Structure 1
Amino acid sequence: MQKILVANRGEIALRIMRTINRMGIKTVAIYSEADRHSPHVLFADEAVCVGAAPSSQSYLNGDLIIDLAKKLKVDGIHPGYGFLSENAAFSKKVEDAGITFIGPGHEAMRIMGSKLAAKECVKKYNIPMVPGIDKAIDNIAVAKKIAAEIGYPVLIKASAGGGGKGMRIAAKEAELEEQIERATSEAQSSFGDGSVFIEKYVASPRHIEIQVLADNYGNTVHLFERECSIQRRHQKVVEESPSSVLTPELRNKMGEAAVMVAKSCNYRSTGTVEFLLDEDLNFYFLEMNTRLQVEHPVTEMITGIDLVEEQIKIARGEKLRFKQNDITINGHALELRVYAEDPLNDFLPSTGTLNKYQQPTGEGIRVDDGYTEGMAIPVYYDPMIAKLITHGNNRTEAIQKMKLAIVGYRIEGVQTTLPFGTFVMEHEAFLSGRFDTQFVQKYYSPEKLLAQQKNKAALAAMIALKYWLQKQNEVKAAEPLSTNWTLRSH
């Protein structure tokens, strides 16, 4: 490959381009009118505007992106995550245009893009799944019968869903019909597919995902797990690797299951298999994400493997350069998603201009971002400013580095999730490893965050006062010393 177009924006576009550049390959950026001066545009060898600010008129215009790629004689298109990254139709159009799609084949994307189709694909491999049905609900009477058999509470989920959209919980039969209607409506508006299904609601689960890599020659490996249980609105905020609760035996078992999921659909490229882990450490297959994940840096930090580089190598026909036994865990890594959101106001988006923007630095600290000081946060896209990643020899060290990195991250002009990150890093449930996907509901509130901040401010004031008093004692006027010298007038 001589030239790759990155069909994305912001931090992920810039992160991908850095690897492409290091590999000696030319880069092409696309941008909307709102992103004209973004760092990913300035970094690329070539850049072209694809339309107005709304993503439907720019980053989601697949046909235009392919036409531009052909005109610019692009060899490959990397979709990043979000936007067109899991669009099987776009992947096929890219391939039909004679351009390499840097990701899995469109058929694997189609299968794994539907939770129902994915369940059907993997069930013959005896991979554990949450009790439920593997077909769409189209009759409320049937739904009530199935829910009664499964046992309440039940979870209604969109087949084409993601990011917590199209998900509703019914605690009893009286709530079922209304929650199905709500999930169906949200799924239809969000994904253009109103299909929903029912499964047992697993209370207090952990969200564990396994990173896989597969080439075109049948070689598939896993790169261990990521713990993604700290979430708000079913979306991840803090991730880490490895998980604090997996034993080596369970890690191997889940890794092998993830590899089988990938093989079931002839997968190639990077991918992530997601599982629920209950309080008894039983795991259940959830879905497979057929793209690079937001939290991929924590896997890179503990394995030393550049996942974007591996994607590109696989796409251009290279075999995996390592086997399962070659991959080992080195230390511990954490990631905090730094969103322009207000944790004191239900994590609602916070718009504005980055009046001050200063990254933290230091050994074991990594920042993947797509903003510079003075830039405005657009209202049209996901409000993530950056990903803050730390790596240490162990979990305690990684947590300490994260706390220091948060203090060193200076952002003014918008509210961010940095204070929430500190709240998590200092909470006993997180420090002990005894937490689940209900962490926010169980332990967090704006009042608790404010109390933590006030305590810190009071402590800082006490330390400052003590320091001042010490200095006052040090600079007291010295006592006059006796001397044999006398003043003489001349």
Structure 2
Amino acid sequence: MITNLLVANRGEIARRVFRTCRSLGIATAAVHSDPDAGAPHTREADVAVRLPGAAPADTYLRGDLVIAAALAAGADAVHPGYGFLSEDAGFARAVLDAGLTWIGPPPEAIAAMGSKTAAKRLMAAAGVPVLAAVTDPVEADLPLLVKAAAGGGGRGMRVVHRLADLAGELAAARTEAAKNFGSDEVFCERYLPTGRHVEVQLLADAHGTVWAVGDRDCSLQRRHQKVIEEAPAPGLGPELRARLHAAAVAAAQAIGYTGAGTAEFLLAEDGRFYFLEMNTRLQVEHPVTEAVTGLDLVALQLAVAEGEALPPAPPEPEGCAVEARLYAEDPAHDWRPSTGMVHRLELRSPHSEFAGRGLRLDAGTGNGDEVTVHYDAMLAKVVAWAPTRPAAARKLADALARARIHGPATNRELLVRALRHPAFLAGQLHTGFLAEHAAALTAPDERAAALAALAAALADAAGRRGALPSGWRNLPSQPQSKRYRADDGTEFEVRYRLTRDGLQAEDHPGTALVSSTPEHVVLRTGPVRHTFDLARHGDRVYVDTPAGATVLTALDRFPDPAAHTDPGALLAPMPGTVVRTAAAVGDTVTAGQPLLWLEAMKMEHRVAAPADGVLAELRAAPGQQVELGTLLAVVQPTP
């Protein structure tokens, strides 16, 4: 029987496992890198063991250090979470060799699914439909998807639309795969732009019982990484669902699987499906399955590891659940990751944490925590359950819109718009959904932002005034002025007067001020009353309303001319590491041409030429660490 469990992971998955351990009376141990010394998962564990260093390669990916930490903490079992070492067969063997209980499938099963190419051959032999690898591509095979054989999470993936680009993309994929997975093996398969990503949750015991615990749709993705997931997968008829579940069970039986795992499939428009891979661990999106089944998948993982037998069949799903991943990133700027202090992260709607139906929050980051470049950009997962799919989507969108999220830029607005999009609500899902609807999902709402800027200016004035409102005059005078910039780059200059007749705002005729304090402003436009809650941290102003939020940066009224940046200068958009360069000083470049790539928060980000011209300076080199705003290159525009 397990009495003390160490989670070889961080963030929300560590907290999720700890939650179940507390309910079962199991003591808990955490491991942490130096940046995570005060992270929520370390605070919640009974004991925490330091892994010296910051980078994953020096800490969470050091299996020897993790096992030593488990032994030092008195743990008798190790749960790998997901990511990091969760699908490392060598680590699983080492855990068992150390006399510890491994919360996962046998190392042999992990190894069997460790290579996507080997897994495809194994699944084909078991009668599971697979999408064959393309070994000698021709035009008819386009578009192609290049994938890392040992990879996951979108790393090493590239879509190729021209054969002329294939060699370069293969080379780049090999480099990325070797760096992240220790193997440079890559392969190609046909890319289905309108395919759906559908997966089946599996759970198997050591007594021969294999459950197909329902299915999930995970088609809404960016950079081949999931953003919105739901259970059950919509639009599957009984016959198709039965075949999918049977194929998943066959996949598990073929490798003698035990524990929790997921069989992932690509569902084509014609109704045919193909095995993609098997994740030999708990998935990030497991909460939606828990919500519709009422199961605690972590508790079942522990029960299976202790040798217990599963009942003959799992419960039937009830209702629908939708999960949104809240990332510290900017979708409007190529999903650029964002770092910094999380001042506030909370749902205004009633919710539970790490369990339950209704509304659920699984967060790895809390108020006062720092988002760094070392780890994944996910802040939290928000899950809504309801009797029907439209009701679940509506509940989740409303909860996100009303949430208080003060800190780094996030994808919150994109999530809300996607959940409310007519195509999403109609079940018109495919892996290119976010790219197809990018304009509608990321377009700035300038009217809402302009009104938020007015509210911010009035709140600022309320904080400065004495006995009389700032700007109040008995006689006509120059208007008060305040400048703000929204995260999309739009600038607003708010000019207003507060007179005996009330508010006179130059760009908001007919808008009346009802009340204002530094934290709360009420405006009326015509017959409609609007409320704004405001918080300021440094020069960042967070304006929250029941309909959504706006984040503004307060600007100086008279900007310093010396702060002007040459339009041809390329500054680092984030802290990170230069991965590779694709041009040399003196090269003629075109607008949008990639010049170099930065790696931060487990993703690569392209830095492109801002205009046609000549690369006059290149100050970046592969392996170089750069800070936000570092000058990387200068392009001299063509006259």
TM-score by length of structure 2 reads 0.68
Q: Are the equivalent residues in 1 in contact too, given 2:123–2:130 (CA < 8 A)?
A: no
2:593 alignment counterpart: none
2:398 alignment counterpart: 404
1:311 aligns with 2:371: no
Moved more, 353-362 or 282-291: 353-362
Q: Structure 2 vs 1, CA of residues 319 and 456 (structure 1 numbering), >3 Å: closer, same or farther?
A: farther
1:377 aligns with 2:374: no
- Residue identity opposite 1:327 in structure 2: P
Give 1:228 deviation, angstroms.
0.5
1:191 aligns with 2:158: no
Q: Structure 2 vs 1, CA of residues 374 and 173 (structure 1 numbering), >3 Å: closer, same or farther?
A: closer
Aligned residue pairs total 456
Q: Structure 2 vs 1, CA of residues 228 and 454 (structure 1 numbering), >3 Å: closer, same or farther?
A: farther
Q: Distance in 2 between matches of 1:404 and 1:195?
A: 44
Q: Are the equivalent residues in 2 in contact too, given 1:204–1:279 (CA < 8 A)?
A: yes
Structure 2 SS opposite 1:239? strand
Q: Distance in 2 between matches of 1:165 and 1:37?
A: 29
2:325 alignment counterpart: 337
Q: Distance in 2 between matches of 1:29 and 1:166?
A: 30
Q: Distance in 2 between matches of 1:468 and 1:10?
A: 42
Please give the per-residue CA displacement for 1:426-485, whole angstroms capped at 9, x wherever unaligned: 21111111121001221113x753345746987999994355689xxxxxxxxxxxxxxx
- Residue identity opposite 1:352 in structure 2: G
Q: Distance in 1 between matches of 2:127 and 2:266?
A: 16
Give 1:183 deviation, angstroms.
2.1
1:394 alignment counterpart: 388
Give 1:178 deviation, angstroms.
2.7
Q: Structure 2 vs 1, CA of residues 349 and 149 (structure 1 numbering), >3 Å: closer, same or farther?
A: closer
Q: Structure 2 vs 1, CA of residues 285 and 44 (structure 1 numbering), >3 Å: closer, same or farther?
A: same
Higher helix fraction: Structure 1 or Structure 2? 1
Give 1:407 deviation, angstroms.
2.1
Structure 1 SS opposite 2:325? strand
Q: Distance in 2 between matches of 1:201 and 1:423?
A: 27
Q: Are the equivalent residues in 1 in contact too, given 2:327–2:379 (CA < 8 A)?
A: yes
- Residue identity opposite 1:61 in structure 2: R
Of 319, 343, 355 in structure 2, the residue corresponding to residue 355 of structure 1 is 343
Q: Are the equivalent residues in 1 in contact too, given 2:319–2:388 (CA < 8 A)?
A: yes
Structure 1 SS opposite 2:322? strand
Q: Are the equivalent residues in 1 in contact too, given 2:103–2:305 (CA < 8 A)?
A: yes
- Residue identity opposite 1:124 in structure 2: A
Q: Distance in 2 between matches of 1:309 and 1:38?
A: 24
Structure 1 SS opposite 2:215? strand
Q: Are the equivalent residues in 1 in contact too, given 2:139–2:163 (CA < 8 A)?
A: no
1:33 alignment counterpart: 34
2:122 alignment counterpart: 121
Q: Distance in 2 between matches of 1:399 and 1:457?
A: 28
Of 316, 323, 326 in structure 1, the residue corresponding to residue 312 of structure 2 is 323
Q: Which residues of 2 match residues 37-48 of structure 1 at below 5 A?
A: 37-48=38-49
Q: What percentage of residue pairs aligned between the two structures are identical? A: 43
Of 201, 215, 225 in structure 2, the residue corresponding to residue 225 of structure 1 is 215
Please give the per-residue CA displacement for 1:211-234, whole angstroms capped at 9, x wherever unaligned: 000011111011111110111111
Please give the per-residue CA displacement for 1:357-392, whole angstroms capped at 9, x wherever unaligned: 223332611000122212211221111110000000
Q: Which residues of 2 match residues 132-281 of structure 1 at below 5 A?
A: 132=133, 143=135, 146-148=136-138, 151-281=141-271
Q: Distance in 1 between matches of 2:343 and 2:365?
A: 12
- Residue identity opposite 2:132 in structure 1: P
Q: Are the equivalent residues in 2 in contact too, given 1:273–1:289 (CA < 8 A)?
A: yes
Structure 1 SS opposite 2:51? strand
Q: Structure 2 vs 1, CA of residues 436 and 201 (structure 1 numbering), >3 Å: closer, same or farther?
A: same
Q: Are the equivalent residues in 2 in contact too, given 1:130–1:199 (CA < 8 A)?
A: yes
Structure 1 SS opposite 2:243? helix
Give 1:333 deviation, angstroms.
0.3
Q: Are the equivalent residues in 1 in contact too, given 2:126–2:250 (CA < 8 A)?
A: yes
Of 507, 525, 541 in structure 2, the residue corresponding to residue 465 of structure 1 is 525
Q: Structure 2 vs 1, CA of residues 457 and 401 (structure 1 numbering), >3 Å: closer, same or farther?
A: farther
2:442 alignment counterpart: 449
1:50 aligns with 2:54: no
Give 1:22 deviation, angstroms.
0.4
Please give the per-residue CA displacement for 1:390-448, whole angstroms capped at 9, x wherever unaligned: 00010011011112210231111211111111110121111111121001221113x75
Q: Are the equivalent residues in 1 in contact too, given 2:262–2:283 (CA < 8 A)?
A: yes
Q: Distance in 2 between matches of 1:381 and 1:317?
A: 34
Q: Are the equivalent residues in 2 in contact too, given 1:210–1:223 (CA < 8 A)?
A: yes
Unaligned 5+ segments in structure 1 are: 134-142, 471-490
Higher strand fraction: Structure 1 or Structure 2? 2
1:3 alignment counterpart: 4
2:100 alignment counterpart: 99
Q: Are the equivalent residues in 2 in contact too, given 1:150–1:199 (CA < 8 A)?
A: no
Please give the per-residue CA displacement for 1:218-253, whole angstroms capped at 9, x wherever unaligned: 110111111101111110111011112211221111
Structure with the larger RCO, 1 or 2 (CA within 8 Å, 6+ apart): 1
Q: Distance in 1 between matches of 2:417 and 2:73?
A: 48
Q: Are the equivalent residues in 2 in contact too, given 1:11–1:369 (CA < 8 A)?
A: yes
Q: Structure 2 vs 1, CA of residues 423 and 469 (structure 1 numbering), >3 Å: closer, same or farther?
A: closer
Please give the per-residue CA displacement for 1:168-202, whole angstroms capped at 9, x wherever unaligned: 33334333333322222222222121112222222
Q: Are the equivalent residues in 1 in contact too, given 2:145–2:157 (CA < 8 A)?
A: yes
Q: Distance in 2 between matches of 1:298 and 1:464?
A: 40
2:585 alignment counterpart: none
TM-score by length of structure 1 reads 0.88
Q: Structure 2 vs 1, CA of residues 360 and 117 (structure 1 numbering), >3 Å: closer, same or farther?
A: farther
1:60 aligns with 2:53: no
Give 1:124 deviation, angstroms.
1.7
Structure 1 SS opposite 2:85? coil
Give 1:31 deviation, angstroms.
1.2
Q: Structure 2 vs 1, CA of residues 261 and 466 (structure 1 numbering), >3 Å: closer, same or farther?
A: same
2:564 alignment counterpart: none
Structure 2 SS opposite 1:109? helix
Structure 2 SS opposite 1:34? coil
